[in-house]
Structure 1
Amino acid sequence: MLSKAEGSAGSRRALTGSEREVLRRIDPGTRALVIASVMLVLVLCSLLPWVRGAAGWEVLMGQADPALKIGLLPRLFAINSTIVGIGLSALALITRRWIFAFLAGLAGVVVTFEGVIAIWSRQTSGAEGPSIGLLLAVACMAVLAVQWMRIVWSRS
């Protein structure tokens, strides 16, 4: 038979565990719809041209025409925006874990800056500049980063 002290200590441990579980979860609310919509636009950006006639998926897969001299930065942005913008954002929406939302927001900020540098590299290369797909993909990553950081900060 448990004494009152042992019983209340066990209840406190159980309560503390459930409190920790609540703190680990997020509720994105209506922002989930915004995030999912922006993720869809990010997927559609891969069909649009990023550099002259090279679509985003061609840049991502490294199948763009070598004559375009796309370079490393747009390809790196394509890879990271797919991983973070689609993969990590989907994981955060599905699991609703604070840590995944934090990682999606933080990585989204980094990938957004990476995209801005990719645009800059295309503009200063002397070759063909960035097209609408690359510009829209960077804007999508910026919106995703802001939305995830707002969700993360609302829990702090």
Structure 2
Amino acid sequence: MTGSKGAGVDGTGRTAVRRIDPGPRAMLIAVCVLAAVSSLLLPWVAGMAGWEVLSGADAGPLPTLFSITLTTFAIACSVTALVTRLWVLAWLSAYGCGFSSVNGVWAIWSQQTGAGGGPGFGLVLGVLAVVLLTFVWAGAALKRS
């Protein structure tokens, strides 16, 4: 009888170890995700909105790659990690947003050095949101409960 109780306690302990408690960071994460979603509605490249770049408009490879990684990690993975509070998803969000940050800086650079008119406000907002999410998720993942 004690063996079954011990197994339940051990299972609960393992579940608690794999979870995070973002605490006040949760509100900052939610605001950053909202900023990332909003960035998709604003101009990114040559007057095209971010959602148009995401849907395959000819905006160049770097803005297109950034739109994919922004949507995948900063929006989808972050929301899933925030809802489930799983430690592994927090790390995935941190690493994915870090990768997306590099893509975003390259996308801005490509618009500044090319023949285009420079990066749009939405592209810059998306990069700022994903950079902030990188550090917030890394802090949350490092401080698991």
Q: Could you tell me the TM-score, scaled by structure 1's length?
A: 0.86
Cα deviation 1:94-129 (Å, max 9, x = unaligned): 111101111001111011011111111111223321
Greater mean deviation of Cα atoms: 141-150 or 14-23: 14-23
AA partner of residue 78 (structure 2) = S
Q: Is the counterpart of residue 74 in structure 1 residue 63 in structure 2?
A: yes
RMSD, aligned CA:
1.6
Maintained 8 Å contact 2:81/2:90: yes
Cα deviation 1:9-29 (Å, max 9, x = unaligned): 544433222111110111111
- In structure 2, the residue matched to 1:42 is 36
Q: 1:58, 1:47 → 2: CA distance?
A: 9
Aligned-residue sequence identity (percent) comes to 42
Greater mean deviation of Cα atoms: 32-41 or 124-133: 124-133
Find runs of 4+ consecutive structure 1 residues off by over 6 angstroms.
Answer: none
Q: How does 1:56-135 map to 2 (within 5 A)?
A: 56-63=50-57, 66=58, 70-135=59-124
Look at both structures and tell me which one has the larger radius of gyration over its CA atoms. 1
Q: 2:26, 2:55 → 1: CA distance?
A: 29
Structure with more relative contact order (C-alpha pairs < 8 Å, separation 6 or more) = 2
Give the gaps of 5 or more residues in structure 2.
Answer: none
Maintained 8 Å contact 2:45/2:118: yes
Maintained 8 Å contact 2:46/2:116: no
Q: How many residues align?
A: 145
AA partner of residue 23 (structure 1) = V
Q: Is the counterpart of residue 29 in structure 1 residue 23 in structure 2?
A: yes
Give the gaps of 5 or more residues in structure 1.
Answer: none
AA partner of residue 153 (structure 1) = L
